[in-house]
C-alpha cells in the first residue's frame, strides 16, 4: 500500500420518503504520513459525511453503499468489517481520531476531563495500566498547553473556557497516538486568536509525531495557511484536488473559482466587489445526472449536460478536476467574464451629521451568591466606551467573545439601561430615558441578529414577521397600504412577495437572513445594528448578504454598527473600525489606517490571527504570537486589560489603565506606548 489512508469510489446513501439517494458519490482521496490535507466546500457538500463514512459512523436511515477504504496496517477493506467489530473499534480513536466542532456537546459534563482522556487511552491501548494511563493523560494535557495539568486532571468540562475545552478534545484525540487526526470544523466556534493558537499547535504536534491531519472546513483562509493539499467538494463529489498553491493560483474547476471570488480577503482593496454564487447547492435527492454545479456555473455550455462521466481527470501533473471543459475553453470564458458587468460598489453619500454619539458608557451586572442571594461583586461588562457614528457611515466593532460587543449593542438599543454615560441619538440623550419616553426612539434603531433561524418566529409567516413593526409603530394607513409596504420590503431585499405566506423552516439560511433584514428595515430606521449577521451562513451566501447591506445603505443613507469576529468581512464593509477587549476600547481608526498601521498590540495580534486565502501571502506574513486566553470578565486584570498577554508589557501597564487618546489623524488608541 503506497498511502497511509486510501479511499476509492466511496458511496453513501440516505433513505427519505421511501427512496434512497446518494449523499456522496464516487469520492476518492488519499493521505500520507505527516501530511496536512484540507477538505473544503459549502454546507451539504458531503465533507463530514465522507469522514464519518470512512469510520463507519453513518447511522440509519443512512448507509455506506459502496467503496474501498484502506488503512495501512489493517488487512482488507475497512468497509468489509462490521461497524461494531473489534477491528473498527481499534481503528476509531486508536488509529484515526476525530475532533468535533462543538467541544461542550462532545464532552460528558458529569465526568472529569482527566477521566475522559484516560478512558479513551485505556480503551485503545491494550495492556496499559491505570497508573501509566494517568501519566500519559497528564502528558497529553501538557502537550496541548493546559496550565497546571496535574491539578486540572480532576476538573469538569464546565470549569474550562471554550478554547480550553477544545484543547481537552485535542488531548483526548492525540493521547492514544493515532496515525490520523480528523479536525471537523474543530475551531469554527472559537475566537480568531484561540483558533490560530490551536491550529498552530495541531500543526506542530502533527509534524513532531508524524501524524497525518485532515482539516474539514469551509474557511479557505485556514487551508491556505495550514494545508499542503486540498480536496474541493460540491454536491457529494470531489470536484478538484491539487497542492494548496495550485488550487489557489492555477484553479481549474469553475466551482473553486467561484468560491475564491465570493470571499472577502484581508489584503483586498476596500472597493473590491464580492461576486456571490447564484442559487443554492442541489438537494441530494434532486441532484442531476450531469455536473451538479451546472445550474450555478458561469462557465457552463450545452456539452456540460450531455457529459455524464463526472469522474476526476488529471489536467496537469498532480492536479485533478471534474470539469469537462478544456483549459482553453475555461481561459476563453474567463476572459469574457472579466468584461462582465457585476455592477460597481454602490456610491454612498456620507454626511458630517452625527447619527450617534456614545460618551463614557458603562454597564455593570451584579453577581449574587448564597442562599439569600447576597451581592458579592460586579461584572464590568463595558467601561468608558466612547465613539461617534456619522449618518450613512458603517462602524465595524471587533473583538473576542466576552469583550462586550453585544452588551454595547443592547445598551444602544436600550434593551439595557447604561449605569453611566450618554447615548446621544440625533442630538438627544436616550441613555436614561424611561420606556414611555423611548417610544419615538424605538423605530429609529433596528437590529439584525446572528442566527437567522432562531430569530424568526416559527409560527408566523414571513409576511407577518416583516410587517409586525408596521403595525406596532402605526406606519401604515390601512390594510392595502400595509400589504403594499410588506411587498416593497420583500422586493428591496431581493425576494418574491409571493413567498410571504411561507414560514421560517421553508426558507434557506440566506433567505431567512434576508427576511431578518426586511424586518429591520420595516420601521424605516436611521441606524441598524448588525450583530454577527453572516457568521452562520455559507461563504457564497455571505457575499450576497454583504452586497445587499451595502446596496441598502447607499439607497437609504442608513448608518450601520457592524459587529463581527471576521476582520476580513469587517474591513470590506466598514468605514471605521472599533477594537474592543474585556469591555474597553483598545483602538479606533479608519478602515485602511487600522489595517495598514495597527498601533495597539492587541489589534496587531487580531490581524495576524486572520488567515489570507492565498498560500503565497501566508508564507511571507509575519506572525504575531499571543500567549494564554482571554481572562474571565469577573477577574479582569488591573491596569491595561491586555497586559497579561501583551509582549510589550511593563510595570506601568500593570498598574495604570491607559486612556483612549488621539495618536494623529483621528487614529485613537489606548496604549501607554502609542
Q: Is residue 460 part of a domain?
A: yes
Q: What is the mean pLDDT of residues 242-268?
A: 92
- Residue 664 CB coordination number (10 Å): 10
The whole domain housing 170 covers: 5-248
- For residue 61, whether the previous peptide bond is cis, meaning omega lies within 30 degrees of 0, is yes
Enumerate the H helices of 493-566 as residue ranges.
509-521, 539-556
pTM (predicted TM-score): 0.89
Number of folded domains in the chain? 2
CATH code for the domain in which residue 133 is found: 3.40.50.300
Supply the DSSP symbol for 177.
-
Question: What element of type H or E holds 182?
Answer: strand 180-184
Q: Is residue 339 part of a domain?
A: no
pLDDT at 103: 67
Assign 3-class secondary structure to 237-277.
EEEEEEEHHHHHHCCCCHHHHHHHHHCCCCCCCCCCCCCCC
Domain closes at, from 248, 264, 293:
248
Checking DSSP bridges between strand 668-669 and strand 661-662, what pairing results, if any?
antiparallel
189 pLDDT more than 70: no
CA distance 495 to 488: 10
Q: What is the mean pLDDT of residues 629-635?
A: 73
CA distance 210 to 35: 8
Q: Is residue 538 part of a domain?
A: yes
Question: What element of type H or E holds 586?
Answer: strand 584-590
Domain closes at, from 230, 248, 266:
248
CA distance 102 to 169: 10
Q: Is residue 493 part of a domain?
A: yes
Enumerate the H helices of 38-112 as residue ranges.
47-54, 86-90, 103-106
pLDDT at 60: 83
Q: Is residue 503 part of a domain?
A: yes
Grid cell listed for 129 = 495500566
Tell me which of 77-91, 135-149, 336-350 is least confident. 336-350
CA distance 591 to 578: 9
- Residue 83 CB coordination number (10 Å): 16
- Residue 470 pLDDT class (50, 70, 90 cuts): very high
Grid cell listed for 305 = 449536460
pLDDT at 34: 93
CA distance 628 to 602: 13
Query: pLDDT: is 345 or 607 the higher one?
Result: 607
Q: What is the mean pLDDT of residues 412-419?
A: 95
Q: Which residue has the cell 498577554?
A: 645
Domain closes at, from 248, 276, 295:
248
Q: Report which of 646, 641, 666 is spatially closest to residue 656, judged by C-alpha positions.
A: 641
**In this predicted model, what pLDDT tens digit does every residue of 276-293 receive, in sequence order?**
888 878 888 888 888 999
Checking DSSP bridges between strand 19-31 and strand 5-16, what pairing results, if any?
antiparallel
Query: pLDDT: is 551 or 508 the higher one?
Result: 551
- What strands, in cross-sheet order, belong to the sheet with 237-243? 96-99, 180-184, 212-217, 36-40, 229-234, 237-243, 319-321, 313-316
Q: Is residue 40 part of a domain?
A: yes
Checking DSSP bridges between strand 212-217 and strand 36-40, what pairing results, if any?
parallel
Q: Is residue 337 part of a domain?
A: no
Supply the DSSP symbol for 475.
-
Q: Is residue 297 part of a domain?
A: no
Residue pair 545/514 in contact by the 8 Å Cβ criterion: yes
Amino acid at each position: 500500500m503506497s498511502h497511509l489512508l486510501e479511499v476509492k469510489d466511496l458511496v453513501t446513501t440516505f433513505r427519505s420518503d421511501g427512496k434512497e439517494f446518494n449523499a456522496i458519490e464516487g469520492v476518492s482521496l488519499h493521505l500520507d504520513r505527516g501530511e496536512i490535507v484540507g477538505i473544503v466546500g459549502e454546507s451539504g457538500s458531503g465533507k463530514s459525511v465522507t469522514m464519518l463514512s470512512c469510520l463507519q459512523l453513518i447511522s440509519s436511515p443512512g448507509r455506506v453503499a459502496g467503496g474501498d477504504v484502506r488503512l495501512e496496517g489493517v488487512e482488507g477493506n475497512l468497509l468489509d468489517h462490521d461497524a461494531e467489530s473489534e477491528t473498527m473499534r481499534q481503528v476509531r480513536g486508536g488509529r484515526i481520531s476525530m475532533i468535533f466542532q462543538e467541544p461542550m456537546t462532545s464532552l460528558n459534563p458529569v465526568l472529569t476531563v482527566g477521566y475522559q482522556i484516560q478512558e479513551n487511552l485505556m480503551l485503545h491501548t491494550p495492556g496499559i495500566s491505570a497508573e501509566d494511563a494517568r501519566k500519559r493523560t497528564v502528558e497529553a494535557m501538557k502537550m496541548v498547553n493546559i496550565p497546571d495539568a496535574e491539578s486540572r486532571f480532576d476538573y469538569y468540562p464546565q470549569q474550562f473556557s471554550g478554547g480550553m475545552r477544545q484543547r481537552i478534545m485535542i488531548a483526548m484525540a492525540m493521547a492514544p497516538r493515532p496515525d490520523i487526526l480528523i479536525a471537523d470544523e474543530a475551531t469554527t466556534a472559537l475566537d480568531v486568536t484561540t483558533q490560530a493558537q490551536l491550529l498552530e499547535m495541531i500543526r506542530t504536534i502533527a509534524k513532531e509525531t508524524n501524524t497525518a491531519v485532515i482539516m474539514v472546513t469551509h474557511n479557505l483562509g485556514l487551508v491556505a495557511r495550514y494545508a499542503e493539499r486540498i480536496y474541493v467538494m460540491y454536491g457529494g463529489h470531489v470536484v478538484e484536488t491539487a497542492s494548496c498553491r495550485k488550487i489557489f493560483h492555477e484553479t481549474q474547476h469553475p466551482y473553486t473559482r467561484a468560491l475564491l471570488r465570493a470571499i472577502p480577503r484581508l489584503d483586498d482593496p476596500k472597493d473590491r466587489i464580492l461576486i456571490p454564487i447564484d442559487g443554492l447547492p442541489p438537494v441530494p435527492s434532486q441532484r442531476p445526472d450531469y455536473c451538479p454545479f451546472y445550474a450555478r456555473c458561469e462557465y457552463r455550455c450545452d456539452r456540460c449536460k450531455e457529459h455524464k462521466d463526472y469522474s476526476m481527470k488529471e489536467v496537469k501533473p498532480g492536479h485533478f478536476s471534474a470539469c469537462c471543459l478544456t483549459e482553453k475553453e475555461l481561459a476563453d470564458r474567463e476572459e469574457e467574464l472579466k468584461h462582465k458587468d457585476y455592477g460597481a460598489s454602490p456610491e454612498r453619500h456620507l454626511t458630517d451629521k452625527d447619527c450617534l454619539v456614545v460618551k463614557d458608557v458603562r454597564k455593570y451586572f451584579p453577581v449574587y451568591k448564597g442562599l439569600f442571594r447576597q451581592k458579592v461583586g460586579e461584572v464590568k461588562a463595558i467601561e468608558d466606551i466612547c465613539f461617534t457614528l456619522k449618518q450613512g457611515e458603517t462602524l465595524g466593532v471587533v473583538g473576542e467573545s466576552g469583550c462586550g460587543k453585544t452588551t454595547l449593542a443592547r445598551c444602544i438599543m436600550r434593551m439595557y439601561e447604561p449605569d453611566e454615560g450618554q447615548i446621544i441619538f440625533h442630538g438627544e440623550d436616550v441613555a436614561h430615558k424611561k420606556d414611555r419616553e423611548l417610544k419615538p426612539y424605538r423605530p429609529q434603531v433596528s437590529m439584525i441578529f446572528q442566527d437567522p433561524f432562531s430569530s424568526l418566529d416559527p409560527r408566523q409567516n414571513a409576511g407577518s414577521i416583516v410587517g409586525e413593526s408596521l403595525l406596532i409603530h402605526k406606519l401604515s394607513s390601512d390594510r392595502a397600504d400595509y400589504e403594499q409596504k410588506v411587498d416593497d420590503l420583500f422586493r428591496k431585499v431581493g425576494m418574491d412577495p409571493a413567498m410571504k405566506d411561507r414560514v421560517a423552516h421553508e426558507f434557506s439560511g440566506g433567505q431567512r437572513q434576508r427576511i431578518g433584514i426586511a424586518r429591520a428595515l420595516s420601521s424605516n430606521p436611521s441606524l441598524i445594528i448588525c450583530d454577527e449577521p453572516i457568521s452562520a451562513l455559507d461563504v457564497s451566501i455571505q457575499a450576497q448578504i454583504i452586497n445587499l447591506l451595502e446596496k441598502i445603505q447607499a439607497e437609504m443613507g442608513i448608518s450601520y454598527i457592524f459587529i463581527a469576529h471576521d476582520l476580513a468581512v469587517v474591513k470590506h464593509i466598514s468605514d471605521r473600525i472599533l477594537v474592543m477587549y474585556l469591555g474597553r476600547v483598545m483602538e479606533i481608526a479608519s478602515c485602511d489606517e487600522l489595517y495598514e498601521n495597527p498601533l495597539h498590540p492587541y489589534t496587531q495580534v487580531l490581524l495576524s490571527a486572520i488567515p489570507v486565502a492565498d498560500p503565497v501571502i501566508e508564507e511571507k506574513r509575519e506572525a504575531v504570537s499571543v500567549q494564554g486566553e482571554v481572562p474571565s470578565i469577573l477577574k479582569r486584570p488591573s491596569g491595561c486589560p491586555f497586559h497579561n498577554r501583551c509582549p510589550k508589557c511593563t510595570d506601568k501597564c500593570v498598574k495604570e489603565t491607559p486612556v483612549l487618546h488621539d495618536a494623529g489623524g483621528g487614529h485613537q488608541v489606548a496604549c501607554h506606548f502609542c
